Amino acid sequence: MEPSYLELHRKGILSERAEKALTLMESCSLCPRECGANRLKGEDGFCETGRKARVSSYNAHFGEESPLVGVHGSGTIFFSSCNLLCSFCQNYEISHLKEGVEVEPEQMAEMMILLEKRGCHNINFVTPTHVVPQLLEALLIAIEQGLRIPLVYNSSGYDKEETLRILDGVFDIYMPDFKFWDKKWSDRYCKAPDYREVAEAALKEMHRQVGDLMMDDQGIAFRGLLIRHLVMPANVAGASYVMDFIAKEISINSYVNVMDQYRPCGDVLKDEFINRRLTAEEFKDAIEVARGAGLKGLDKRDRIRLVFGL
């Protein structure tokens, strides 16, 4: 199935979207932070990123969900920094310490083409919210060089609706987190008390654009929404509320990965609530509430863990 961005490109719409996204960087309002930095002139925004995107790494990744990985892997491009900057970030060196190098659009396009040539099933942009304009600039070049595989928008869920509408028809697959339900915790760990409201609106807009996750006869995703929820100690993330929202407001058929990978790192090693790993019981409870909400698309790895008590 042809990726949707090719039709936008043929109609000249994609270049218009890139220009529109660039204008949002002049007094930056790309994300809900709306920090107002003139990133076109090199000023760093809240994300500590200016005119150029910074890339930490790019490779064929086999640790993502199976519909993305397939046989040849998901072609991930990891962007440095972030617009949410969770204090417990599991990729702290990349998001907070900004490991990586600044790249030109031509260089990013070359990364996409190399990953496609390696046989990757998609191009998976990790933490792209703060570099949407740069991504679109690179995409225009990559298409001319032959890019023909789906794009994955892999974000924290702290995405602005206006920016997502610019991406309508660009991304065939959205993979957002839904991190927190209670603003007490999103404020404490991300300085984003509005996280829940923003994430709710973002997931609804993403689902409007691409619908439920669809896979080919090989089990490889080619379009749709895939939602991640990282279970955290002491029920800080509010799994039951998040699962209920997804089932009632998005779709009971949503593909949801309930994740148990939390580990204390970054600035939370002394935090009284999340300075430890998740217990098996806490994770099992989260799976049970997901099932109780009626969700039918739980990631298979989670079902395997539940059956075997892992």
Q: For the chain, what are the domain ranges?
A: 5-308
| Res 17: pLDDT | 98
| Res 305: pLDDT | 43
Q: Where are the beta strands (DSSP E) in 150-298?
A: 151-155, 173-176, 214-215, 221-230, 255-259, 297-298
pLDDT in tens, 221-232: 999 999 999 999
How many Cβ atoms sit within 10 Å of the Cβ of residue 220? 17
| Res 301: pLDDT | 66
Q: Rounded CA gap, 244 and 163, in Å?
A: 26
| Res 310: pLDDT | 40
Q: Rounded CA gap, 164 and 209, in Å?
A: 9
The pTM for the full model equals 0.95
Q: Contact at 8 Å (CB) between 55 and 105?
A: no
DSSP string of 106-142?
Answer: HHHHHHHHHHHHTT-S-EEEES-GGGHHHHHHHHHHH
Place of tokens 């709710």: 200
> What fold is seen in the domain 5-308?
TIM Barrel (3.20.20)
The pLDDT tens digits along the chain (310 residues) read: 899 999 999 999 999 999 999 999 999 999 999 999 999 999 999 999 999 999 999 999 999 999 999 999 999 999 999 999 999 988 888 888 888 999 999 999 999 999 999 999 999 999 999 999 999 999 999 999 999 999 999 999 999 999 999 999 999 999 999 999 999 999 999 999 999 999 999 999 999 999 999 999 999 999 999 999 999 999 999 999 999 999 999 999 999 999 999 999 877 888 999 999 999 999 999 999 999 999 999 998 644 444 334 4
| Res 274: pLDDT | 96
